[in-house]
Structure 1
């Protein structure tokens, strides 16, 4: 039997060519295009399943094999098609919060059902493509391994978030001129970026909708890039930091034991010839399972005062401060600071209770009275806890935290992303939601869309953040101009910006204990509040430091953590970013550069025409004065264009009211 099947949907033509009889005696091929026609996927079914991807006729993924090995079956080997169907979906997503009030959710999908009780779904969006395995097996199944090859043609540059273990996501990026230079056996966390300098095309490998399954890494194996997953833990002990982290000592011979009627995580390939698109690409969020929460009125993103980064030091304040004085009076001081500056939260970090037993509260701290006082001032309180301690009695511990009046929890030191640990994320989020508790995950793996499913997850760490300024030189402007284009594709990140002690490349030195500084200018730090996605934004520095700069506090009080509209005005991976974001009737603008001094043009054409507005503008004082800045109020219209001089490691911010 030979026939062609043609489906016309909108302006797209999908062609599936079938040859031969059941049993796949000759290959079958399918093509699928993105709604705008720029991305194309080709799937070939033969003895194996292979896929390839092109962007505007440039191959970005050469034919690559995918499969999943179960105990008694290899999904994808000798693949025997039952039926294949394609369709176009047109819809919209209205996130509870984020950087867009509405997301276009148009995609084309190819679903291939195979004999052997499984299927593979392929989706093409304008932002990228994705595929996932789906099983229809009545019993519990054991996944021994999965194969996800990513054969990148040519010699792309690789920006590799390299790791030598399965316990760390707070890594610096290592750049390789080409994949051949990556030693075999080296792996990276995802998202991972591959860049073609001649064409400007960027390819990002990532994943979405990760449930009950280990997280994916990218491995250099026998000269090619392929997926890698940690095996299921066989034996764990308490160890690492303070002997309160669950550490894997032995692993089994499989990666997951799970139910057989399920969809597996999406394997995501984002491809673009325009760096700007990476800063507002929300494909991973779109692919995630929609919210499972019916009542979300209590979930409120916002900014938080925080004591840990600056060692709770309040130089010149009228009360004793420092880590040894984390008591009721000190936290009341932070509450007052938050209330005076319209910050929604206070984060109380490690030390308020025993690391091994949350019920043993620091006797110096009347945490209930602090939370009551905060509530009277419309300030909510997040409380830090260790993941392993929480999981000993998840329901009971969360009941206790709720009884204290906490608005949310910061869950730290998960430090794994095997199947068991991934289960913890959902268990914690679901149980916290039942008690109207928000969650900020720290010491965690990267997000994969779970914050859409459980929007009470208001942030993830999984980034080399400001805390590293206490210990080393890795949190620097070069790093800051990589993470928005790579890590931020996965979801929000708790970088904890806002340092008011700012150093040049030459003058910076790590400080711990004590009052640390950061690399880059003060305006560079302020720009993070616009450019970085952080629904819960923790301000890292001391209240007394912010109080030295009233006009800076004016900006920090005004800037929200979520937005209704985002425009990327100019950007280049690793070099600079210029963005404008609107929240209700206010626009906020942020610009950042790496260690290179440069001038960017800010074009206000995104403003409504025919009216003059007042923009509050903060710019660098120069490369020799990292802590200095210039502030001015200036009139602008939609016709205005201004030059933004950015110092080495510099930045600029502005905000204006449309009314």
Structure 2
């Protein structure tokens, strides 16, 4: 980078005067990202906003021209007339930690941080804590006073997005199970889910807007451009959600969740762990009982399968045959018949060396009558149920139907996690919010739904036509910010067919990351696979040591490589209207090592495979054909 555009390595933060209203700059440790603080009135008092800039060759591109700052308490407003009292001394945040599952095991929480001290017209204090990472930006609000109880009635954070910025957005829904839509402007005005993906115009930079480290002291937010089509405002839950109070109640001192923006080239977005990095460290001391893995799952092929003892045992046998450690007993296990009850099923599962997982209704909504209903609803109920599960030898629970993002429901999620930890029970959430960094704080939280997954082949014909494009968007959006229980890899059909190829479906076991990966097909869907595909699914992990985007573009195609130990797994999927010839390079492999490659690609039609066995090293490359809704999977094992 040209020296005249570089920021001083000796000073991360400094006050400058060459730009109207600009008061300070904070840069990332690698100097690639710069965040500037502005005062709209060009004084030390007024409305404040941030601007995000990204290094591109010999200049810094203006990526997000304006992020408005401010928050409203029930007693007063912290926006207009804010006086900048002090800029704190910059500090280097540097922390290494290990993740038990996810896209990468060894993590680095490294950023430059500064605290901006403000005072409003009533002399009340608001601090803004700002961090700039090599892969993004995070900031949060702080009320530093030592006492006082208030409610937050509004947050004024708003991201101004330039016209003609390409964007991928999902209409807000409390289950977070919609489809992403690609747009190049803000003409559609409504509420939007996190995360939201943008590609900066005339720049290699992409950015993904999200929030992280949400706790009991706030509600989950969303984005809305209803007032200004190109301004996406952080918006709190409304009164239309039927559970809980509409405003978050806080007690001082208080900090908001982080407003997080992952920034970089597309590969930087995919591999980023920023949402976890800014979240609180693990609250657990002993974690050997937390074991990611693959599970068989009967709901997709038989919606009432768990009521049938024989179906449950068939899926336990499937897990044995496929070398998967888990099987899930979904809803209605309390009504099991046809040869046995719950206790009989669990005894059978254990006799096969498989670990059972069990489904629960959150019980928060009386109109959802799926059973069992209320065993998670109170602390007393949970303790009673967890004691029972420990005696039965159940390793994890799936809790479904939250359907609100108000503070009361956020507390409920965390209550479940904290009680489950005491009994060494893994947890995953369905019908829920998008991840907010809790998998770092509570590493026994294995995965979340919050996605339009394969379950939607039960619900109607829509996913049949949209799945290929949808799958190629999720890898760059929803799955970036945390584990995603899509329930993938189906070769037969549910109520409505899929038209993605067998190669595409096989690849989803790598493309999609989930701490417990539920393979959704019926037993014969796996038993009838060719040996190579079946062997691949017996070996594919559910947790990873590293993740690399090899190639791709949202909604079009995706090629991701993930490492477990010394072995690599690659998934590639296509969504185009024509075949794609993908050049697969292996330059990510270590020097001086040869690998045995098993490459399982599309065959002559969508239900056929073409398999190759090769020796490769980092200088090798292979041409792979993907059908128009096709894909491929590859496994690389060190040649000893």
TM-score (norm. length: structure 1) = 0.86
Matched, 1:438 2:426: yes
Structure 2 vs 1, CA of residues 36 and 69 (structure 1 numbering), >3 Å: closer, same or farther?
same
State the partner residue of 1:382.
357
Once the two structures are superposed, residues 309-331 of structure 1 have per-residue CA deviations (whole angstroms, 9 ceiling, x without a partner) of: 0117xxxxxxxxxx478333332
CA distance in 1, matches of 2:137, 2:469: 29
State the partner residue of 1:243.
none
CA distance in 2, matches of 1:174, 1:563: 29
Shift of 1:293: 0.9
The one of 90, 94, 99 equivalent to 1:90 is 94
Shift of 1:404: 2.8
Alignment gaps of 5+ in structure 1: 1-7, 20-25, 234-246, 313-322, 355-360, 503-510
Is 2:7–2:31's contact at 8 Å kept on the other side of the alignment? no
The one of 109, 121, 127 equivalent to 2:135 is 127
State the partner residue of 2:546.
565
Is 1:353–1:362's contact at 8 Å kept on the other side of the alignment? no
State the partner residue of 1:528.
508
Matched, 1:466 2:441: no
Alignment gaps of 5+ in structure 2: 1-5, 40-44, 364-373
Is 1:94–1:101's contact at 8 Å kept on the other side of the alignment? yes
Structure 2 vs 1, CA of residues 174 and 379 (structure 1 numbering), >3 Å: closer, same or farther?
same
Is 1:43–1:51's contact at 8 Å kept on the other side of the alignment? yes
Shift of 1:101: 2.4
Structure 2 vs 1, CA of residues 10 and 338 (structure 1 numbering), >3 Å: closer, same or farther?
farther
Matched, 1:487 2:478: yes
After TM superposition, the structure 1 stretch with the greater mean CA deviation from structure 2, 380-389 or 631-640, is 631-640
Once the two structures are superposed, residues 108-139 of structure 1 have per-residue CA deviations (whole angstroms, 9 ceiling, x without a partner) of: 11112334243110110111101101122312
Shift of 1:251: 7.2
Matched, 1:263 2:252: no
CA distance in 1, matches of 2:505, 2:439: 25
Matches within 5 A, 1:188-199: 188-196=192-200, 198-199=202-203
SS at match of 2:69: strand
Root-mean-square deviation (CA), in Å?
A: 2.4
CA distance in 2, matches of 1:485, 1:493: 12
Once the two structures are superposed, residues 600-640 of structure 1 have per-residue CA deviations (whole angstroms, 9 ceiling, x without a partner) of: 11112333344443211100014xx2111112322223322
Structure 2 vs 1, CA of residues 309 and 271 (structure 1 numbering), >3 Å: closer, same or farther?
same
Is 2:568–2:636's contact at 8 Å kept on the other side of the alignment? yes
State the partner residue of 1:110.
114
Once the two structures are superposed, residues 547-588 of structure 1 have per-residue CA deviations (whole angstroms, 9 ceiling, x without a partner) of: 011332211010001111222221222222212211113211
State the partner residue of 1:64.
67
SS at match of 1:467: helix
Matches within 5 A, 1:333-348: 333-348=314-329
CA distance in 2, matches of 1:536, 1:632: 29
Once the two structures are superposed, residues 257-311 of structure 1 have per-residue CA deviations (whole angstroms, 9 ceiling, x without a partner) of: 1222222101112232x22222111111111111111111100000000100011
Matched, 1:173 2:184: no
Shift of 1:158: 2.3
State the partner residue of 1:217.
222
State the partner residue of 1:153.
162
Structure showing the higher strand proportion among its residues: 1
Shift of 1:250: 7.9
SS at match of 1:50: strand
Once the two structures are superposed, residues 441-497 of structure 1 have per-residue CA deviations (whole angstroms, 9 ceiling, x without a partner) of: 000010010111101110000011011122222351101111110111221100011
Is 1:382–1:406's contact at 8 Å kept on the other side of the alignment? yes
State the partner residue of 1:238.
none
SS at match of 1:257: strand
CA distance in 2, matches of 1:410, 1:432: 11
Is 2:294–2:324's contact at 8 Å kept on the other side of the alignment? yes
Is 1:71–1:141's contact at 8 Å kept on the other side of the alignment? yes
Structure 2 vs 1, CA of residues 482 and 434 (structure 1 numbering), >3 Å: closer, same or farther?
same
CA distance in 2, matches of 1:280, 1:18: 34
State the partner residue of 1:14.
12
Is 1:465–1:494's contact at 8 Å kept on the other side of the alignment? yes
State the partner residue of 1:205.
209
Structure 2 vs 1, CA of residues 228 and 199 (structure 1 numbering), >3 Å: closer, same or farther?
closer
The one of 31, 40, 50 equivalent to 2:34 is 40
Shift of 1:99: 2.2
CA distance in 2, matches of 1:593, 1:577: 7
Structure 2 vs 1, CA of residues 421 and 326 (structure 1 numbering), >3 Å: closer, same or farther?
same
CA distance in 2, matches of 1:636, 1:76: 59
CA distance in 2, matches of 1:428, 1:482: 31
CA distance in 2, matches of 1:299, 1:644: 37
State the partner residue of 1:357.
none
After TM superposition, the structure 1 stretch with the greater mean CA deviation from structure 2, 146-155 or 123-132, is 146-155
Structure 2 vs 1, CA of residues 373 and 249 (structure 1 numbering), >3 Å: closer, same or farther?
closer
Is 2:427–2:444's contact at 8 Å kept on the other side of the alignment? yes
CA distance in 1, matches of 2:242, 2:560: 45
SS at match of 1:353: helix
Is 1:367–1:404's contact at 8 Å kept on the other side of the alignment? no
SS at match of 1:160: strand
Shift of 1:53: 0.9
Structure 2 vs 1, CA of residues 48 and 176 (structure 1 numbering), >3 Å: closer, same or farther?
same
State the partner residue of 2:627.
647
State the partner residue of 1:73.
76
Structure 2 vs 1, CA of residues 154 and 177 (structure 1 numbering), >3 Å: closer, same or farther?
closer
SS at match of 2:49: strand
Once the two structures are superposed, residues 130-151 of structure 1 have per-residue CA deviations (whole angstroms, 9 ceiling, x without a partner) of: 1101122312221111111101
Is 1:352–1:362's contact at 8 Å kept on the other side of the alignment? no
Matches within 5 A, 1:316-465: 323=304, 326-353=307-334, 365-388=340-363, 389=374, 390-392=376-378, 393-465=381-453
Is 1:592–1:650's contact at 8 Å kept on the other side of the alignment? yes
CA distance in 1, matches of 2:551, 2:343: 47
Structure 2 vs 1, CA of residues 529 and 283 (structure 1 numbering), >3 Å: closer, same or farther?
same
State the partner residue of 2:489.
498
State the partner residue of 1:580.
561
Matched, 1:635 2:634: no
Is 1:190–1:217's contact at 8 Å kept on the other side of the alignment? yes
CA distance in 2, matches of 1:387, 1:16: 50
Count of equivalent residues: 597
CA distance in 2, matches of 1:18, 1:427: 47
State the partner residue of 2:144.
136
The one of 544, 548, 555 equivalent to 2:536 is 555
